[in-house]
Chain A
Amino acid sequence: MSESLLNAAAAKFDQAEVYRVESESHQVSFESNRLKEIMRRDTSGVALRVIDDGRIGFSSTTDAGREAELVDRVASLVPFGSEASFEFPEPSGYPTVDIVDPAVAHVAQQSMIDTGQGLIERLLDEWPDLLCDARIGWSTGRGRIMNSAGIDAEYEQTSYYCSLGAQLIRGTDMLNVWAGFGSSHLFGEAELDRLLQTVRRSLRWSKETALATANTGDLPVIFTPRGVGATLLHPLMSGFNGKNVANGSSPLGDRWGENIVDERVSIYDDPLIAGASGSRPFDDEGVASRRHALIDKGIAGGPLLDLQTAGQLGKTSTGAAGRGLASTPSPSSSVIDIAAGDTHFEDMISGVKEGLVIEELLGAGQGNELGGDFRANVSLGYKIEHGEIVGRVKDTMISGNAYKVLSQVEQVSDSAEWVFGSMRSPAIQCLGVEVAAKDE
């Protein structure tokens, strides 16, 4: 089917590309400490993108019965299409990336149920008042990209994931904590233990409530690996997105090669890491994957580019095209890898006289992320006094600018941890985070 669609399109337009995805997934979910639902999903669809007279046309469908319509539909769109600044690429060599574990698709439903049940029981043993949710599931996916320049490439990917959440209500005070992990490999006790430890630590640190001290950035804030993901990553990444760079809205516009943050900060986009969620041998336009320095020892590396944005900027694609079935490709990160430093996390905390630990935020991304700004309610964070965590803070907001905050790094922890399987980060202690809090 893909061949005939490509042939029909290639006969009619200057260039054509067919992208086809198929996936199968299976998930068990627990709600309020009990098994609630089992879901299976089969998904398939195809997208056609063409270049004709220098313009781009795009259409997609999940209706196998309407695939034949795609060529005509694209023909009616392409005269109005955006200008193409690229040509579909020719075949090239692809790296080998370990993203398939055949065992994943053979996980028995009962084993997933037992895993969820076991996690919840272990939490309830220690905290009988909790209401726990859990999701355990796997998926297998296959993506195929073909174009009129000769690419016909396909890869398969497996994924196994587990998330565990817990709610504790005391009076009108509600606490929600959770942890999750995903990998292309089936994982076992060691990873499940880590999830439990994360949830337990959050519960332990939240036993007491503490009041945050309002300040304009002169008190230190420690972002845990999840806190880095929740607070700093998005505002930072928007500056590296080829689209924002190409249309002039990235604050990094002309600062490539310059020092933009503290030299202890190194951030890579790395789709070659074995087992990580988001790793892949080539991107969604058939361009080979590579490890890409976003920030190397504080210096701005380069933007993430797909074919179109690379063409607009007079560069070559960095293999960063991502797409959903119903959307055209655009630059996106794959697996984010942030370099560890040299301070033990425990020593970071014990070295702080007064400050905050940020784990999760509510409402991040509503502000002006393009300029690197962040601001949000601290949905899970803790107060440090004299080197010890004294309790959870609530009714507290933080704000700042990711570039400025990462220029005021005080410490970077010596172990980088996986956050949900698609990002690896150490904890980072910084100044420059403004804290607003309710007076009580």
Chain B
Amino acid sequence: MTVNQKGLGIFVKYRDLIENALNGHDADYSEIRIEETDNSRLVYRGKSLDTIAQTSGFGGNVRAVTKGGWGFASFNSFEELGAKVADAIAQSKAVGGSKTELGEVEPHVEVVPAHIVHDPAEISLDEKKRQMDHYNDLVWSVDGINSADIIYGDTSRKTFFGNSDGSYIEQEQVHVISRISAQARNGGDVQQAGFSLGSQGDYDLIRGLDEQVIDAAKRAVVLLDAKSLEGGERTVILDPVLAGVFVHEAFGHLSEGDNVYENDKLKEIMYMGRKFGGKHLNFTDGAAIPGLRGSFKYDDEGTPATRTPLVRDGELVGRLHSRETAAKLGEKPTGNARAIGYNFPPIVRMTNTIIEQGEATLEDMLEGVEDGVYVRNWYGGMTQHEMFTFSSGEAYMIRNGEIQEAVRPVMLTGNLFGTLKNLDGVGNDLGMNQGGGCGKGGQSPLPVSNGSPHIRIRNCLISGA
């Protein structure tokens, strides 16, 4: 058991409350997670500020498992906490009919402070607004701009977690996010360009973006005159940001143990050692990689964060787990059980997902590409098992090994069992995308990051625009 001395004296705000509430029940396992949040948000639409808001949240939940069945009860008030605990346990009994299996995790007692570089809480709202006003003005300073969409948000989330194994963990996370997007319009044709940023605990993220903002606004205007590609298969080269989204969608989701643990057919397909591509494919996920959006010390079941190799030398070597999916697959918990808030149970999620870098330079990958597309930046992505799509924020023609004029952004699609075999180039220039959030099971957006060097994919299916 690890004990943080500083924590024991001063904090441990809800330790007794949680311990007492969980005491004396006969579920196989039970836990309580309490959460306090504070958020600030600035939204600009059109020419002016649309919303400035500060909100706060308080809530908690009880989760219990009996004979493999789960019960969950969430609340905004401690009134009748005893009844909530009894409810969750009674529900777990109504469900349970087999055996509770949870991966072994040593109990921890610890207070984990927020990872702070430049605390957004120490910056006045006035200053935040002046900063974003400035970016809004910059967008509008570009000729041809018709509208702007700008969001700034910061949030502090404190969680207080205790379970029947004896863990008590307090953690704070501070996130800063921003999205700046510009629109240009010509009659019924509306084009947009922008970028997203995020950090854990670093307000400086949103300083010094002048060049990027002006560049995005100019790109939106240029897109009005850019051509659309016809749909079909082409060689594509992805920049680190979009390649990060690619690994998240193309491989990350199917690595989540909850897809597999009760699905025998999928187990047969996703067996350890299965070959997905060449030796240059090495994928990793882990919250233990420090300082990123998806980093933390303990997950929402109190499991310490790890760093999990998913693919090594093109072969499947690991999976992401909660305590339950790990136990049922005979693997170890990886600390990937995460909940977006107190009113949701933790489910298996990614944290920071990476394509490890290789040796190729961008020039190496461009060489020999006669008719391809260089895709940068991201718009979104989605997965349904082996099928996935992801969208670029920018696209440029590649001809005879050279990146040429901008075309309208494209959507790319793939299939896990085909696309990774066509991934034939991995660059040497790892970069992280911290501006994204992930959605699953109605829980969105969960802070995650992903990253990659430039990658090349042959015969990738692209949509028409």
Q: Which residues of A contact B (CB under 8 A)?
A: 28, 31-32, 34-45, 56-66, 69, 73, 76-77, 80-83, 109-110, 113, 131, 167, 169, 172, 174, 176, 214, 216, 243, 246-249, 251, 325-328, 362-363, 365-368, 370-373, 375-377, 379, 394-395, 397-399, 403, 434-439
Contacts and interface: CB of A to CB of B under 8 A. Distances in A.
Scoring B56, B74, B233 by chain A CB atoms within 10 A of each residue's CB, the highest score goes to B56
A39 B47 CA distance: 44
A436 B464 contact: yes
Contacts, number: 262
A58 B263 contact: no
A366 B382 contact: yes
A368 B230 CA distance: 16
Contact of A251 (B50, B59, B190, B269): B190
B152 interface: no
B379 interface: yes
23 contacts: A37-B69, A41-B343, A59-B55, A66-B56, A66-B58, A80-B126, A83-B48, A167-B385, A246-B46, A249-B146, A249-B185, A251-B189, A326-B53, A368-B191, A371-B189, A375-B463, A377-B411, A377-B413, A394-B387, A395-B418, A397-B461, A399-B411, A439-B233
A305 to B, nearest CB: 15
Given A38-B70, A83-B48, A328-B51, A63 B147 contact: no
B334 interface: no
A216 B343 CA distance: 46
B232 A214 contact: yes
B76 A31 contact: no
B265 A169 contact: yes
Contacts of B45: 243, 247
A174 B253 CA distance: 14
A227 to B, nearest CB: 16
B370 interface: no
Contacts of B385: 167, 174, 176
A31 B260 CA distance: 12
B141 interface: no
B55 A60 contact: yes
Contacts of A394: 387, 415
Contact of B384 (A59, A379, A399): A379
Contacts of B343: 41, 43
Nearest to A365: B380
Nearest to A78: B52
A43 B125 contact: no
A327 B55 CA distance: 9
Nearest to B461: A438
Contacts of A109: 91, 94
B281 to A, nearest CB: 17
B411 A367 contact: yes
A167 B269 CA distance: 15
Highest count of chain A CB atoms <10 Å: which of B39, B49, B384:
B384
B187 A251 contact: yes
B304 interface: no
Contact of B76 (A28, A36, A42, A371): A42
Interface stretch (B208-216, B353-361, B388-396): B388-396
A436 B76 contact: no
A310 B381 CA distance: 34
B54 A59 contact: yes
